[in-house]
Amino acid sequence: MQTPPTPLDETRRLRSLHSLRILDSAPEDRFDRITRMVKRMFDIDICLVSLVDSNRQWFKSRQGLDVCETSREISFCGHAIIEDRPFIIEDTLEDPRFADNPLVTGEPHIRFYAGHPVHGPGGHRIGTLCLIDRLPRTFSQTDVEMLKDFAALVDDELATNSEINVDELTKVANRRGFVMVAEHLLPVCERNNLAVEILFFDLDGFKKINDVHGHQAGDKALNFFANLLLKSFRKADVVARLGGDEFVVLLAAEHLNSNRGLKEMDKRAARETDEIYRLVRWSVGKVPYDPDQHENIETLLSDADLRMYSNKTLKKKSFA
């Protein structure tokens, strides 16, 4: 087994990592939504945001793995941070550096590894976004480009204070956080022929909830609706509160089925017995992303917003 070499900028690299004060912090959805999305898009066993400390690698986000850290001495990511390019091992048993590594011969039985460095202040390579599988696999140039795109998204999150991108009340992404994710995701999906769809939600009669039951009840309704979206759609889908009583869900996959999430919302809402929760109703506009029609995420949002208002207007007429 070959232990990872020490980067030439190790002192500055560690100073950059520690300045973020992120080691041993609680899980955050802004990182987890990236690893969930990457795991699904690559159809991989494990996806990690791994940060390489002085003697360990610690996982800020992990999908498909129970442990939160391993020794740096046996880490793959320790090798991946040496150069600013993807580090790919298509079959560990064919590579003498890793064939007898404890992470190969024992759990999690790594046979494939692909990692791309992620960066802290000053551009230092502080860790990786990495993919792990228990079977060997090939990794195309298209795969490499997609991994680089998602690693850049992790870079953006590392460079941004979490409060800026998260809605204070509901703890889902706010408009800024949503736009940042979507701006990275749309070109990735376009290059890889993945379908994208946006659902734009607006609560019906929300002002009445505030006026009759008070603003605390209004906050309760907003939290309920945010959780309803999170529970009804897939974990890899991006849920955000744009502001007020407006929410969005962004779906990306080879084959989309947003109707399944909408039906699940109806089922879950129908089972609620809480007085405030039962008052929550919504209108929704659904729009597939078309690069010929949608110049950017804002034009896509605008289109979905118009569809939502059409839905709301139609409902008002039916109840008139």
CB-count burial class (<10 Å; 0-12, 13-18, 19+) for 147: buried
Say which residues have a Cβ less than 8 Å from residue 234's Cβ, sequence separation at least 6.
40, 251, 261
Say yes or no to pLDDT of 249 above 70: yes
Query: What's the rounded mean pLDDT across residues 14-30?
Result: 88
Say yes or no to pLDDT of 106 above 80: yes
Q: pLDDT band at residue 67, thresholds of 50, 70 and 90?
A: very high
Q: Give the pLDDT confidence score for residue 80 in this predicted structure.
A: 97
Question: Alpha-carbon distance 34 to 157, whole Å?
Answer: 10
Say yes or no to pLDDT of 318 above 70: no
Q: What are phi and psi of 80, to 5 degrees?
A: -70, -20
Say yes or no to pLDDT of 264 above 80: yes
Question: Alpha-carbon distance 49 to 63, whole Å?
Answer: 9
Say yes or no to pLDDT of 38 above 70: yes
pLDDT single digits (tens) 113-169:
999 999 988 899 999 999 999 999 999 999 999 999 999 999 999 988 656 778 889
Say which residues have a Cβ less than 8 Å from residue 100's Cβ, sequence separation at least 6.
1
Say yes or no to pLDDT of 17 above 60: yes
Percent of the chain whose pLDDT exceeds 70: 98
Say yes or no to pLDDT of 78 above 60: yes
Q: Give the pLDDT confidence score for residue 314 in this predicted structure.
A: 86
Half-sphere CA count of 224, side-chain side, radius 13 A: 22
Query: What's the rounded mean pLDDT across residues 208-217?
Result: 94
Say yes or no to pLDDT of 248 above 70: yes
Q: Are strands 125-133 and 195-204 parallel, antiparallel or unpaired?
A: unpaired
Mean pLDDT of the chain: 92
pLDDT single digits (tens) 273-311:
999 999 999 999 999 999 899 988 999 999 999 999 999
Q: Which of 208-217, 250-259, 280-289 has the lowest mean pLDDT?
A: 250-259
Q: What is the pTM of this model?
A: 0.73
Q: Give the pLDDT confidence score for residue 94 in this predicted structure.
A: 96
Half-sphere CA count of 278, side-chain side, radius 13 A: 6
Query: What is each CA distance from 156 to 120, 125, 257, in whole angstroms?
Result: 10, 14, 29
Say yes or no to pLDDT of 74 above 80: yes
Q: Give the pLDDT confidence score for residue 173 in this predicted structure.
A: 87
* Residue burial 25-43, b: 16+ Cβ < 10 Å; e: rest: eeebbbbbbbbbbbbbbbe
Q: pLDDT band at residue 319, thresholds of 50, 70 and 90?
A: low
